[in-house]
Amino acid sequence: MQYEDEYSTARHQDLNCEFPDGQIYTVEDISPLWAQSNLESEEIISGDLDLILPANTMVDHARGKIKLNGPPELRNRPDKGKRRKLAQVGDRTVLVVRVQAPENIQTSNTMAELADSVFGADSGFPRANDPVNLRSQYKECSYEKLRFGVAANRVRVATNYGGTDISNGAVTVDVTSPVGDGHVNMRNDISAKLNNMFGVSSPTELADYLMYCLPPGTMRGIAYAFYDSWMSVYSDVWCTYVSAQVHEIGHNLNLGHSNENGAYNDQSGMMGLSYSQSNTPAMCFNAAKSWQLGWYEGTNQVKTISLGGTRDYVGQLSGIINYNSADVTNNLSNTNPILIKLNQNQSPDDYYITYNAKASFNSGTMEGGNQVMVVRARGEGNRPAKSELVAKLSALGSYTITGFDGTQDSATIEYKFALVNAVLLQHLHLLRHLFKHLPPPPQQAPHHHLFTHLLPLPHQAPHHHRFKH
């Protein structure tokens, strides 16, 4: 679980155990550093792991806590375990949950307002017109490969629990847990009520993803979500802010935080900080997260550079907004790379490069707009590893990785200049940023290109590489 605080860069990561009915209990006395390190090493795979509790473990149903009596056994399910995560594509449904607590304390927004903030006009509510929302931003960034839709309308089978029917992707739930009991009790109360109201064994029978919008004062932070899961939880109006929506659902999609100098300060994409604004910022994800989501793979616009494979790239680099773009009038297509991975086999860290074009559905990027961005991350782009922004390059800027892949080789990224031909920009809707090849081959005429190059020492003997699993 990732727990976000407002007004600070603090975060909390807990180990939680989900029961078949959707109740999620927090395991106490687990070090956050232990949880993070085991996630990155795949000893813990969220959603794929059975937690075998030791004898005499105390399960506190009233508080939603598990008190261990010794270390638990972590057992990967036979049909899952360590594997390549598939691209996040397809149609997914979302249910937004409004909450009515005792003493008439309730989520500030109405069902219609919540649905509008998540789905916009697609919610189906009259006068719904939110222009930038969870559905629209994922649809744009993925080029319609990941489409979030409203949960199906559904009538309650039991009305004695209060609440409402599901309508246009939203529902109201009456809980018995007071605000003072906190968010853990309330989220489990919500899950139990949904099961009873609609005659299901788990809330996951109602939608692929559920957003619990808690009344004000229930939780100290602004929002949190569970890795590779279906639940995200928000403090009241934060449920309506697009950056919080995209960020928390991103955790559900198995994305980790985007960091810069430690805490998640990489503001170039949605897995950094969140903002208390409804329709802004319109932005996507950094290079490591974009690689992990898998929306652009399978084309020549995604490249891998490594010592054992393609060792360099000389050419143009475009932004995510230029994926598969074309100039129909002049019969031109943009086949420039938009993502480059510098793959290391002897080191757990890899590097990811993109051009952060500040335009279109990425026009609100809060950092590094129209710069070449270099991000370091573990997990091979498959797991919820945190990423670290290590370089933002403007024209004539460069970044060198020494000791690349455990050798004496180096990897150099140099951004030479931007083309300024206005006609070209108008036709292709991009700024082309080029790397410079160092050193240029003797037979090659001088040119200016964006480039990623691995330089072996002249005396270095051939060596072998062990691939990571």
Which one has a higher pLDDT value, 430 or 463? 463
Q: Which of 53-62, 118-127, 186-195, 452-461 has the lowest mean pLDDT?
A: 452-461
pLDDT over threshold 80, residue 265: yes
DSSP letter assigned to residue 40: H
3-state secondary structure of 118: helix
**Are 281 and 364 a contacting pair, CB within 8 Å?**
yes
Report the C-alpha dihedral over residues 46, 49, 50, 54, rounded to 10 degrees. -80
Q: What is the rounded distance in angstroms from the CA atom of residue 284 to the CA atom of residue 321? A: 9
Indicate if the alpha-carbon torsion angle 315, 321, 324, 326 is positive or negative.
negative
* % of the chain with per-residue pLDDT over 70: 77
Contact partners, residue 273, CB within 8 Å, separation at least 6: 9, 243, 264, 265, 267, 366
Q: What is the rounded distance in angstroms from the CA atom of residue 38 to the CA atom of residue 108? A: 38
**Are 235 and 9 a contacting pair, CB within 8 Å?**
no
| Token pair for 286 | 């950094």
The pLDDT score that the predictor gives to residue 85 is 55
The pLDDT score that the predictor gives to residue 351 is 95
* H-assigned helices in 262-346: 287-293
**Are 210 and 92 a contacting pair, CB within 8 Å?**
no
The pLDDT score that the predictor gives to residue 37 is 66
* H-assigned helices in 199-335: 242-252, 287-293
The pLDDT score that the predictor gives to residue 350 is 95
Q: What is the rounded distance in angstroms from the CA atom of residue 355 to the CA atom of residue 431? A: 9
User: Which amino acid belongs to residue 464?
Assistant: H
* % of the chain with per-residue pLDDT over 90: 55
Question: Phi and psi for 45 in degrees, rounded to 5?
Answer: -120, 105
The pLDDT score that the predictor gives to residue 449 is 32
Angle at 28 between CA 63 and CA 255, to 5 degrees: 100
How many residues belong to the chain?
A: 469
**Are 321 and 359 a contacting pair, CB within 8 Å?**
yes
pLDDT over threshold 80, residue 211: yes
Q: Other C-beta atoms within 10 Å of 348: how many?
A: 14
pLDDT averaged over every residue in the chain: 82
The tens digit of pLDDT for each residue in 376-429 reads: 998 886 778 899 999 998 887 888 888 888 888 888 888 876 643 211 222 222
pTM of the predicted structure, to 2 decimals:
0.83
3-state secondary structure of 402: strand
**What average pLDDT score do residues 125-146 get?**
96
Which one has a higher pLDDT value, 416 or 373? 373
Q: Which of 16-20, 257-261, 404-408, 456-460 has the lowest mean pLDDT?
A: 456-460
Give the pLDDT band (50/70/90) at residue 451: very low
384 preceded by a cis bond (ω within 30 of 0)? no
The pLDDT score that the predictor gives to residue 315 is 77
The tens digit of pLDDT for each residue in 83-127 reads: 445 679 999 999 999 999 999 999 999 999 999 999 999 999 999
Give the pLDDT band (50/70/90) at residue 4: low
